[in-house]
Structure 1
Amino acid sequence: MRHNKKFNHLGRKAAHRKAMLANMASSLIAHKRISTTVAKAKALRMYVEPLITKAKDDTTHSRRVVFSYLQDKEAVSELFREVAVKVADRPGGYTRILKTGNRLGDNADMCIIELVDFNEAMLAATEEAAAPKKRRSRRGGAKKATEVAAQAAPVVETEVAEEPEAATGTEVKAEEATEEPKADESAEEEKKEE
């Protein structure tokens, strides 16, 4: 009877299953992502995540325990040197399964299993999403619009009430002299803004 034996046997005997999962775990650690079936990926996740948790504590005992599972020196050194450093602050969930559709030959559900902290494209996307969005206020747009409208509007000259001829002639000339540089300055400001 197989009561309460809930893990997937993957159609293999224990020794074959153990060797296959060890090889897949070594490949996952070395390449950071592998393509496999969904059933194998779920079994691999249960196999490799406790090993990554054990790798956070870099002691001789934990290295020996991990090596007893993986049987691959390069994978063990990679796990303790690179992977454990990146996942040090993550409290679990070190792998991600992305389904890719069905295999052409036998229609098996295929997926990609990857280490979460090593997918640069997804990390960049999450950082952009986490960045606060800039808010646009209506005031700033209205303020600029009024400034542009004021600069674009023609200068209207007002007539001055006539005074004695001697005084009027000098004042009008002085007003015209002061208004012309203002128009030149506004034209220069428009050029700078463009």
Structure 2
Amino acid sequence: MVENIVWHQASVTKQEREQQSGQKSVIVWFTGLSASGKSTLANAFNRALFERNKQAYVLDGDNIRHGLNNDLGFDEDSRKENIRRIGEVAKLFVDSGQIVLTAFISPYRADRQIVRELVEEGEFIEAYVKASVEACSERDPKGLYEKAKRGEIPNFTGVSAPYEEPENAEIILDTERYSIEECVEQLLAKLNIA
């Protein structure tokens, strides 16, 4: 804990922002293997929310690593710090009254739980984007699974590093069974957005 720093109370509350915008702020935390469809789904859902006049923003794992987290690697400690930082950013978005959509592999249950505990009850929705390693490896739009299998990428989730599936996700989006459009409809229903 840093000394001599005091939280400055905002003049506009989260509740006032939610009332003005007519929406409940929330984190929708998309977690799953690489190539499961997290970023595609988060962006499709963002478009659907935008078309319904909802204020939302996507925080994408790769995009965040180009800036805020460009000093982190992919070892376990770096992955934990990556999620810790994005959790704090997501919390700020929730405070601003936004719907924040985070697309991160976030392989460890404990790290996802830490983010859940940053916000109030009901403000964290774990969205498990479910797809098998085999399906993700077949999709492999970035060619990462092949590189990982050849040993060119160490600590690759699902190949040489673990992924801990959610035990009690608020929603499971099975991208092997359902299209992106169908998954978006499931999310809209979950958030009770017409």
Superposition TM-score, scaled by structure 1 size = 0.23
Q: Which has the higher contact order (CA 8 A, sep 6+)?
A: 2
Whose helix proportion is higher, 1 or 2? 1
